[in-house]
Amino acid sequence: MSADPTREIGLQASRWLLRLQDGAQPGENERELNAAFLQWLQASAQHLHVFLETVQTWRLMGTMDPERALQVESLLRNLDADVIAMPGTALRAAPANPPRRPSTSMPHLPRRNVHRGMFAAAALLLLISGAWLAMDTLDVRNYSTDIGEQRTCKLDDGSFIYLNTDSQVQVRFSDQGRQVRLTRGEALFAVERDSRRPFIVEAGNASIRVLGTRFNVRRRPGQTEIAVVEGRVHVATMDARHNDADPGPAPDSTTGGTIAPQPVELTAGERALVDKGRIERAHTDTVTAVAWRTRRLVFTDTPLAEVAAEFNRYNRTRIRVEGEAAASRQLTGIFDADRPKALILYAMKDETLVVSPDGDHWVIGAR
């Protein structure tokens, strides 16, 4: 049984993508590498189609290194006179007297296949012109922070993303829209209004459509929390974002807020906790929600286990709380996120707790 030709082309495309990301190896000429790739790309329109699909898949999976992502433009330049620049691209015009290319760079076409070859070349150029739009649409930029680090990211549209500790976002802009995916951690968004291109943030099971605003998003295990500082946002679960029916929110007697099975609109001073198909809506203190921007941790009747987990987000010195009695001990206060010893000193003064070192870390338990 013969192998599936499409599968084989997919394997070839993956190999080429790996080689092009790694660059020329010792003893290998980069121009010859690119020329060989372009020769493979021109062998058929299917090669180009499968290669672009491979690029899209790798980018969506986060496999491609954003600092060494393939630049199709630079590779097409190696075609010299064999490529006609498309409108709007930065390709240089073909030289008046193009240099003779080595005979191995392009296969010789018999005279009876000249018209067929010209037709194939024209089709390939049309695909390449469309590929420029596809590559622009698929351009994904990744921004991240390490433990204890914070970062300010200015986007191409003038919007800002402020990343908290140990966080990561993927940004994808196109002519049709602006998409951001918070893959971990926490971020504050200050979005520039653009009615032609909606700004949508995805985090966990939450989809947030921005209506011109500043808002904070934090991913927790199995949950996503959104707090609006200014303006409005439209919050939906990923399951319900395409459902226009809205029976309205239902009261929640346990939290004082409301549980909405369908999308809700939040205004300044409101927050939403998205958990699977539920959206819990309530009022919030916006100052507390973004206190992390000044590296402050604010707690109000917060269980000690949660307090320790917050400190662990910002510091490599870990604090472990053992036992239910200690874990449920409630704490109220404002702390410097970079000083875990402040929590240790607080615990040492509590007669119901006992603190002990564990190497470079600390353990808090009930006395």
Q: What architecture is domain 140-288?
A: Sandwich (2.60)
Question: pLDDT at residue 85 above 90?
Answer: no
| Overall average pLDDT of the 257-266 stretch | 70
User: Residue with structure tokens 């037709």?
Assistant: 119
| CA–CA separation, 20 and 226 (whole Å) | 40
Higher pLDDT, 26 or 69: 26
Q: What is the pLDDT of residue 86?
A: 33
Which amino acid, residue 338?
A: D
Question: pLDDT at residue 123 above 60?
Answer: no
Of all residues in the chain, the percent with pLDDT exceeding 90 is 47
Q: What is the pLDDT of residue 225?
A: 96
Q: What architecture is domain 295-366?
A: 3-Layer(bab) Sandwich (3.55)
Q: What is the pLDDT of residue 102?
A: 41
User: What is the per-residue pLDDT across 311-363, written as a single tens digit (0 to 9) for each?
Assistant: 999 999 999 999 999 999 999 999 999 999 999 999 999 999 999 999 999 99
Instruction: Compute the mean pLDDT over every residue in the chain, rounded to the nearest whole number.
Output: 77
Lowest mean pLDDT among 104-118, 228-242, 274-288: 104-118
Q: What is the pLDDT of residue 62?
A: 57
Binning pLDDT at 50, 70 and 90, where does residue 107 land? very low
Binning pLDDT at 50, 70 and 90, where does residue 8 land? confident
Question: pLDDT at residue 96 above 90?
Answer: no
Higher pLDDT, 316 or 29: 316
pTM greater than 0.75? no
Binning pLDDT at 50, 70 and 90, where does residue 59 land? low
| Overall average pLDDT of the 89-94 stretch | 34
Q: What is the pLDDT of residue 60?
A: 60
| Overall average pLDDT of the 7-18 stretch | 84
Nearest to 79 by CA among 45, 52, 42: 42
Top-confidence range, 50-64, 274-288, 352-366: 352-366
Question: pLDDT at residue 184 above 50?
Answer: yes
Question: pLDDT at residue 28 above 90?
Answer: no
